[in-house]
Amino acid sequence: MDLSMMNEEQLQAIKSTDGPLLIMAGAGSGKTRVLTHRVAYLLSEKDVPAYNILAITFTNKAANEMKLRVERIVGAQDARDIWISTFHSMCVRILRSNINYLGYDRSFSIIDPTDQRNVIKDIMRRRNIDVKQHNPRNIIGYISNQKNALTKPKEAMETADKFPDTLYAEIYQTYQEVLYRNSSVDFDDLIMLTIELFQKEKSVLEFYQNKFQYIHVDEYQDTNQAQYELIQLLAKKYRNICVVGDSDQSIYKFRGADITNILNFEEDYPEAKIVKLEENYRSSQTILDAANAVIQNNMERKPKNLRTKRSLEEKITSIVSGTEREEGHSVVSHIMDLKGKYKYNDVAVLYRTNAQSRAVEDALMKSNIPYKVVGGMKFYERKEIKDLMSFLRVIQNPRDDISYERIINVPKRGVGQKTIDKIRAHAEAHEISMYEALKAADFIGLSGKVANALALLNETLENLQKKSQFMSVTELVDETLHDTGYLEMLEADKTLESKSRIENLEEFKTVTMEFDRDNEVSDSLLFEFLSDMALVSDQDSIEEDSGVTLMTMHASKGLEYPVVFIIGLEEGIFPSRRAIFDESELEEERRLMYVALTRAEDRLFISRAETRTIYGKQESNMNSRFYGEIPEELIEGVQYERPSVRIGGYNADRANRPARGKSRVVTTGGATSKFKTGDKVTHPKFGEGLITAVKGEGSSEELDVVFKSVGPKRLLSQFAPISKKE
């Protein structure tokens, strides 16, 4: 086999086949290539039978990619006999043959999350436990955590010392009894039951120990307690275990990942050999120097230093904007400047939380730049935003049956599909709206309970209609969320998902506050706002399979882009507020920054806003300490003095004071507009149009244009490819 393209460290990792091996693979260092060639080397050079090799990854995509690469090197015949899979698919194969030892049928079922919820709800119903007080999803999360920690129901009940853990432990026990009676398992059971099988039946464990004489584990820093124990059992006999990972990229603590698994590898295997892959094939040296400088501030890590044969190339560009809206415009401005050299799908914008995407999305939409959101829905397409907009549309126009039907059972009022069909049929027969049809509830045949609930809904909407005449949009949003019970519904749920929905609704108020600042209260205010939103959120021209990528930093792990923007580099945003006073959490945030930095290949932009309105509140946050940990000589644009203290006594004043001789804010604008209302314009995609309104100035100037072919659009004049028609 040809290994001529490998560097010295990669060759060492490939050829070190006997005994424990820890490959510390830095970002972009070619770890997948090393793993696949190591497997091929065992087959072709060491004559190891294919059925004696195991390779474990975390995702089906990674497993399939590894299979294809091994096939290309050794051929389909040998590759077919190698076990290359995820943890869970490996355990399914083992349990299919041996789960009868645990009393389950070999044709056991694997239940999905919906089935899990149904089982939990049924248990709660039989025990008269209120689902509003104890959300089934919270209980499922509790059970999952117990299983990942290898804690059985009996142990959970013995160690539970407070409410609601005692209740959840009891439900956990009943839940497992139900699954056992049905010969069913859930996703977390797959690993826990495999470990239980190995511990109970030594002959089964010995069979798989003899089978898997050469074990490979990718992304070892992301393993949890159960996965760690499983690997320890399998590797105990032959100890030919190769783990690949990077302690600096351990960012999934919230999922149960335990960084000590990789940090303590040498304690588990004192004879282990360590190989560091430090040559990076992805990023410029400037980007790597920045990443190295940031991560060296962490104590909980295995030291390494990424390097590349590429030159320093472009410096990192620093962007400091006045507000998050200006930050979005600045990002778009730089994307447009790069347009000749890079395509839109070469660009990624990374942020700490999904709520931060809104300002960038707005700027991209108004500039007609295609984009896609990875790991989350577009801001205006999220359920809670659509629900709120539907309430507002019905308040503005009670005849809007599309919006009314969306909110008729939100929050739940006992209105099923049959009831909706009855109301709709009555409305259509009498050519009235569903809203009006409910005034004749007695003639529709609704139950008294449902009729009363819907009468209350209509009364609430009528009151909100009256309030809308003299309230700002922000005030009306607050009243709507309160009066309809929508906010109360989310607050009662107490899940991470509901908390995220509340945060997104608070972030929506950033939009309404911005609108209210520019418009006086009047009886047409809501109409104007909804018209404004219809223009802003129109995304017919967006192609989902191409364009600028928007995603959280967590979602970016494993990906790479020629151009990367990291936005929101402010204390309390990134690092997050809860991490600032917790050393362990802060180190996890710093690893996240390291991951974000090393996604960039050629160009890197780091950005912050001096004031940011997020979750409906305006804040003036300090400059992120991560900003300050990047060496000054690597940055062009706005720079800051570095804080003198790293943690506890973080010097906020120095961090936020611009260095002498440096400009503080990069801004554009102030020029007189070349467009005015009534101008005829042309657009290369939309054709001829007429400007109906010009708002704002400079980089924030927006044009409302009605095009003959596609109707009304809102565009940023600075970036829109339009010209006046003579």
Residues in the annotated binding site for ATP = 25-32
With CA atoms as reference, report the closest residue to 347 among 359, 357, 334.
334
Contact in structure between 129 and 227 (CB atoms under 8 Å): no
Q: What stretches of 255-413 show up as alpha helix (H) in DSSP?
A: 260-263, 265-268, 285-295, 324-337, 357-366, 383-396, 401-407
CB-based contacts of 326: which residues, under 8 Å, 6+ apart? 609, 667, 699, 700
Q: Report the alpha-carbon distance of residue 54 to residue 216 in Å, rounded.
A: 6
E strand spans, 630-710: 635-637, 680-683, 687-695, 702-707
Task: Return the residue matching tokens 């290309």.
Answer: 72
CB count, 10 Å around CB of 96?
A: 11
Which sequence positions are flagged as catalytic? 31-32, 218-219, 249, 599
With CA atoms as reference, report the closest residue to 71 among 80, 62, 60.
80
Contact in structure between 401 and 433 (CB atoms under 8 Å): yes
Encode 154-221 in three state secondary structure.
HHHHHHCCCCCHHHHHHHHHHHHHHHHHCCEECCCHHHHHHHHHHHHCHHHHHHHHHHCCEEEECCHH
Annotated binding site: 25-32
Residue 697 φ/ψ, nearest 5 degrees: -150, 165
CB count, 10 Å around CB of 522?
A: 11
Residue 659 has, within 13 A of its CA and on its CB side, a CA count of 13
Contact in structure between 214 and 520 (CB atoms under 8 Å): no
User: Could you tell me the end-to-end alpha-carbon distance of the chain, in angstroms, rounded to an integer?
Assistant: 67
Looking only at the bridges linking them, the beta strands covering 702-707 and 711-716 are antiparallel
Coil, helix or strand at residue 693 = strand
Task: Return the residue matching tokens 């129901």.
Answer: 153
Q: Report the alpha-carbon distance of residue 628 to residue 494 in Å, rounded.
A: 36
Task: Return the residue matching tokens 């000749």.
Answer: 340
CB count, 10 Å around CB of 594?
A: 26
Contact in structure between 599 and 609 (CB atoms under 8 Å): no
Cis peptide upstream of residue 575 (ω within 30 degrees of 0): yes
Q: Report the alpha-carbon distance of residue 509 to residue 500 in Å, rounded.
A: 15
Looking only at the bridges linking them, the beta strands covering 687-695 and 702-707 are antiparallel
